[in-house]
Amino acid sequence: MTLEILTPDKKVFEGEVVSVTVPGTMGSFEILNNHAPIISTLEDGKLTVRATTGGKGEVYMIHGGVVEVLNNKVMVLAEGITTR
């Protein structure tokens, strides 16, 4: 699936990934290939991107935002972000 992470300033990440874990308002959740369509608000917290199966993943600290999943495309619109 394809992931795009955007902030008001710039595009932070774009590429193929295996999974994405986001800090949803009602709790953290993981998005995998063929996930049902969803739009969710995000809290401040850890966003983990796994580009390969079994890989450790890259971690970003996001400051609020929203996530949309549709047709194996995940778009994260974060208010702010820092790389860990």
- pLDDT attached to residue 6: 97
Closest by CA position to 50, among listed 23, 13, 20: 20
- Per-residue pLDDT tens digits for 13-37: 999 999 999 999 999 999 999 999 9
pTM strictly above 0.85: yes
* Beta-carbon contacts of residue 11 (< 8 Å; ≥ 6 apart): 4, 5
- pLDDT attached to residue 35: 95
CA 43 from centroid of its chain's CA atoms: 12
Domains within the chain, CATH numbers bracketed? 2-83 (2.60.15.10)
* Beta-carbon contacts of residue 34 (< 8 Å; ≥ 6 apart): 1, 72
CB 57 within 8 A of CB 49: yes
